[in-house]
Every structure is written in C-alpha cells, then in structure tokens.
Chains A and B, each alone.
Chain A
Amino acid sequence: MPTVRLRSAAEYPAAAQKLFELSRAWFNHDFAEPPAMSRVMAWDPEFGGPHGRAMKRAMGPGEFTRGEKEMVAAVVSGVNACEY
C-alpha cells in the first residue's frame, strides 16, 4: 500500500491536467486515472517538470528507438528490483 494517499486527477489544479494529457499521449493509453507516477510527478511541478523533460529527452527519437529505450527502462527497473 502506498505510503501516501494518491490523489485522483480531479484533486489536482488545472496546470496538472495538462501534464496528465501529456502522460496519456506518451503512453497512448486511456487510463481511468493517470498512472501513479504521473500523479506523483504532478505533485510538485518544480521537480516533476524538469524531471519529466529530462526523461522525455532521454526517451525521444535518436540512435535508439522508443521501443528499445522502453526495454532499457524495464531492464533498469528490474535490476533495481522495482515492482512498480
């Protein structure tokens, strides 16, 4: 069980709703609620904003495909034993 109460998207300010739209587009998936990590990142835009932009820069098109990078991300998560 999470150590914090994850707020529903409706409890976030308007500026965060734009971030949730970006999250939906990023994953190309219509979530009932934005992913937990998206809601965590939207809690503090001064951290979540640059962190998210760094992630998008790393994951964007380049020498490796988005799919390959998602696999690298999954591998790093697995090696870190992160169930999420």
Chain B
Amino acid sequence: MAIDTLIEVLARYEAVIGLEIHTEITAARTKMFCGCPVAFGGEPNTRVCPVCLGMPGALPVPNEAAVEWTLLAGLATECDIALWSQFHRKHYFYPDMPKDYQISQYDLPFCSGGFVEVEVDGDGVAERADIGGSMPFVGPEAVAEGSGYRTRIGITRIHLEEDTGKMVHVGGAEGRISGATHSFVDFNRAGTPLMELVTEPDIRTPEEARRFAQKLRSIWLALGVSDCNMEEGSMRVDANVSVRPRGSSEFGTKSEIKNLNSFKALHDAIEYEIVRQAATLDAGRAVSQETRHWDAGARRTSGLRSKEEAHDYRYFPEPDMVPFNFDPEWVDSLAERLPEMPDARRDRYIAQYGLRKHDASALAGEFAFACFFEETAGIAGLDRSKQVVNWMLGELTALLKAQGSELSDVRVTPAMLAELVALIEDGGISGKQAKDVFAEMAETGDPPGAIVEDRGMKQVSDVAEIEAAVSRVLEAHPAEVASYRAGKQTLIGFFVGQVMRETRGQGNPRVVNEALRRMLG
C-alpha cells in the first residue's frame, strides 16, 4: 500500500478515527472480582475459582487496587474522576464468558473527559492533508525542531471491567475461527482487571493513531499500571474508522478493526481501511457498518460475516455490588501519588541534562530507556549526559533494532555504558575503538575496561611516551621535517599517520597533534 495512495485519498476524504484500547492491569496481583492470581500463560484452568468460572451461586467482590489503578490512569490522562460510580452488567453469550454477561461500566465510568497530546513529525506529517481539520482540536503548532504538528486527542472515558477467558480453535487455518471444528476454552485469563479507554473520534491519520497508542503506552508504563505487552495481549487496540468527503460535517459509516497485534499493524490497517472505504464510496456504493479483521500476512482487512443480530447488551446496574462514592479529598491524594509522566520527564531532561528536545522526547517516551538513561548518567556524571544520549540513541538503538530485542534483553548495563563513556573522555580509547568495545561488551557482557585491557586497546596518552614516538618519527623522516618547517603545513597529516603507526594506532590523537606541533615547531 503506497503512501501516495493514502495521501491521494486523504486529499479528497477526511478520515475520522477513534480508538478503543483495552489494558490489563498487570500491576494487580489478583483478578478483578476474586482472589485468583493474575499472570500470563500457565496450564489451562489452573488459576480459576467458582467466581471467575461463573459457577452457580458465586459472587463478585471488587479488587480495590484495580479500582485505584484505574483512577490513577484517569488522573494521568487529565480525566475527571467520577465521585459516584458503579458497575453494570453487559450481556452477551460467548464461550469465553463465564457468566454470559461481563461486569463492566455503562453510564457511570470511573474516568471521563481527558486528553493526550500527540506530536507527529517525519513522514507521518504528510498523511495530514489539512492541518486545519474540520473537527475542533488543539493546535496545530510546528514542533520546535523540524516540521511537524501537535494534536490533542480527547479521551471520552476510561472504565473498568473484567477480561474474558481464552479460546484455542482447532481445525481451521492458522488457528482462526473460520473452518475450526472445535475449540478449547481456558478461563485463566477470565476475570483479569481490564481498563477500557475510548477516545473521541479526534484522530485523523494512521500515524496519529500509532503515535497516540505509543504515547498512551508510555504513560501506562511510566504509571506502572500494566506491562503493556501487545504480543501477550495485555494491551489491545481496536480502531473505529470512517471517512467523509472533505468539507462534510456528517459522519460516515464506521467499521471496527480488530486483531491489531502491533502499532505497525494499527497504522497499516487504518491506512488500508481508509483507502478501502474511499474506493467503496468512489464506486458509488455504501460502506457497511461491520467488524473487520486485520490480516497482517495478506495486509488487508476482511469482514467477519456473522448471523448475529445487532448487540443488545441489556445493561443494568450490577446488583451483586454496592455503588462507589469516593471522597474528593481521597481522589486528590491519589493525584499526588502519580509518578512522573513522559511529557514532564521530557521537560525535566531538557532542563536538568541540557538535552535537545528531540533527544529528550526519544528517551522520555520509552520508560525502560528513560530509566537506563538516568542510571547511566548518574554514574557517568551530569557533564557526560550528552555522550550517554548519543550512545543510547546511536549504537544502542541500532543494536536493539538489528537484534530485534528489548532493552531488558541486552547485556549492556548502565554501569558498563557509563564506564565506556569515561574511557573515551579520559583518553583511554578513541571513538572508533569504543564502537568495537561496545560491540564486544554487548556480545560477551564483559565490562569495557576489561575488554580494553585484554585487547591492549588502551590509548596512549602519556606525553613522554608520545614524545618519544614523535622523536623516532621525526628522526626517520628528516626530509619531510624540513619541508614542513619550510612551510608545507599539510604534511602534518603524514606525521600524524606515522606516529599512529608507531604507537600501533593507540596514540591519543589530541596528545599526538599537540606533541607534533610542539616538536616540529
């Protein structure tokens, strides 16, 4: 799917996108309504009890930590916290539903009316055909460095509910539902506390959607509410997409896209869907309201044909639990417990470490990176922050990308990186040597000092030793010395090369240069 196609479409149609993001509260030790432990995987049906199995006579009792986490999530995203709230029952029949109703929230969600600001730069900017937009939103402003814009995505609500069980389908293609002959149902996950966040339809491009999801993930990670692991399903994103001709104020028919297992899939699926819907409208047909499934292999969405009538969830207030009536002072005290959020962290990095905004954003936006950076800078010293940043955003990032691994997987530790930076700065090794050392320490896990020792890489900075080498070189090349002194200053390069050969490449360039100039005169 060429980006040109998308951009061509977006010149004629406006895309209206909203996201629904489900996040498991993996910070909780137990399930939402019972004391079974929350974890991923494990032998099927071994983390269950009468409550989360929906046995006859079992009753739900809400997990206070999960409620608190949800309120914190709302506070972290500028939401209003409902002082009066309750759970509702949402009815539908499905094999992974232990009670055939889900305990969720309806018209009294814990959090509502928040927002997240998203910045788009780079290629993603091109997707935004009209920076003005026909929906009210904050911005846009050009991002300080380079071209880009900022947009505010409203959060309609965040509510709390319970996750379903899991099914494994047998007999169909790739474990998919269609063509399956039978299925196995595992209720280990059933009852896990789940936050559902719904955005306002403020998103206009696939890239904005991706950035929003990434930003939200970084906020959740900074908060500590979830491990946000999209492969394991602790964070799941669905997108609602519709298009309308530019200038129109009526909403088009929306489709819901599911099965988005990565932020890239989120971007690509929305892109595909926008183009598909535009083509449908261009051909004079109507877009049907349906759920569509993203096929990452075939890179297309397909409709889930179903016999199901439109959902009638028959919501009513959950009679097995009493309502919530929060003390406003208590809610305020929760706000004080919020840890530092990514935007605040970014601003602090600019102020405290003197980083450029782009670098600060890159580090602050990824919680694990931010922690690694602060620890490394703490050991290396504030004055070496910029070098630390360069290594992290340069070699370290490249390494992660090449290996396809996470920061927690690599053998490089903050202490090791700090030591490496010190070795360069204190003249132990050259920048080029350092790259080799980095590669080796990433592979072996050996500290850089040891590697430098073993390989005899230590840079020679001792002035006397260098002068001795320079002396030998000058003695060996009297003709060039004479030429240099006669005015051929460009020969300095020749002499530097010779001294480096003499010192087996380990001469500290700065010291060599100074010594040469001194001794050449």
- Asked if A and B bind, the verdict is no
